[in-house]
């Protein structure tokens, strides 16, 4: 964005933007907020911008277990439980698992994925590759997603490092056979093809909540749907 474009978006003169960039002027807390709005910065980046300007952070990062987060936890549980018999989980900005539904525990548990699991560490460890039939393709798209999320967060070294590691394992880009890239998972004798939809909260006023992502997995073929429904029925007996 040019100085003129930023100035127009923040409703301030281009000269003042230039003075801020060169350090000839110091921004007020209000100006930091206006610039952050104009640049559509995420809440953690806004807090860092305030700190660099000498102001206290405005946005909290509540712990997932705090009492104030109870309505959020209830909403996440409702979404995950309602998604059964298909797997679903919730992750934070660094891909740590906060919650899972029953099907996700059953399917991903043997891979070491449970509450508190570090998915970034798991992906770069090589532990998942033997269980994912199309791992190079999945790794390539995971690297792209990690880079995008890092950029949206104003830069996250943990995501960038994992993206580099996954990109090194990635296969060459090619034309996809369908509208989405599935994860083809080998679970015992079963071959499950899944794709994910992401959900986020629309009006976050907390760092933790803004970074929360709910991943709902869907069957990519009739065989996978039948296997997941049969597994759900067997677990209920």
- With beta carbons less than 8 A apart as the criterion, state whether 200 and 208 touch: no
- With beta carbons less than 8 A apart as the criterion, state whether 224 and 193 touch: yes
pLDDT in tens, 189-205: 889 999 999 999 888 88
Give the span between the Cα atoms of 136 and 139, in whole angstroms: 5
Residue 93, both tokens: 């900005």
Give the span between the Cα atoms of 195 and 182, in whole angstroms: 5
Residues forming CATH 3.30.450.20 domain(s) in the chain: 67-236
| The model scores a pTM over 0.85 | no
67-236: CATH architecture: 2-Layer Sandwich (3.30)
pLDDT in tens, 99-147: 999 999 999 999 999 999 999 999 999 899 999 999 999 999 999 999 9
């Amino acid at each position: 964005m040019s100085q003129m474009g930023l100035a127009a978006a923040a409703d301030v003169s281009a000269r003042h933007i230039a003075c801020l960039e060169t350090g000839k002027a110091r921004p007020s807390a209000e100006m930091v907020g206006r610039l952050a709005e104009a640049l559509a910065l995420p809440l953690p980046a806004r807090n860092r911008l305030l700190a660099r300007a000498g102001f206290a952070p405005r946005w909290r990062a509540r712990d997932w277990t705090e009492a104030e987060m109870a309505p959020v936890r209830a909403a996440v549980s409702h979404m995950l439980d309602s998604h059964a018999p298909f797997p679903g989980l919730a992750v934070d900005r660094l891909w740590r698992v906060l919650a899972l539904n029953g099907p996700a525990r059953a399917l991903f548990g043997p891979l070491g994925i449970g509450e508190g699991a570090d998915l970034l560490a798991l992906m770069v460890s090589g532990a998942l590759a033997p269980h994912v039939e199309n791992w190079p393709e999945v790794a390539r798209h995971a690297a792209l997603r990690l880079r995008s999320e890092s950029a949206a967060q104003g830069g996250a070294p943990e995501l960038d490092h994992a993206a580099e590691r996954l990109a090194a394992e990635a296969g060459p880009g090619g034309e996809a056979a369908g509208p989405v890239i599935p994860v083809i998972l080998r679970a015992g004798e079963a071959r499950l093809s899944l794709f994910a939809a992401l959900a986020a909260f629309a009006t976050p006023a907390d760092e933790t909540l803004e970074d929360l992502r709910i991943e709902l997995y869907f069957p990519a073929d009739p065989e996978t749907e039948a296997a997941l429904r049969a597994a759900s029925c067997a677990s209920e007996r």
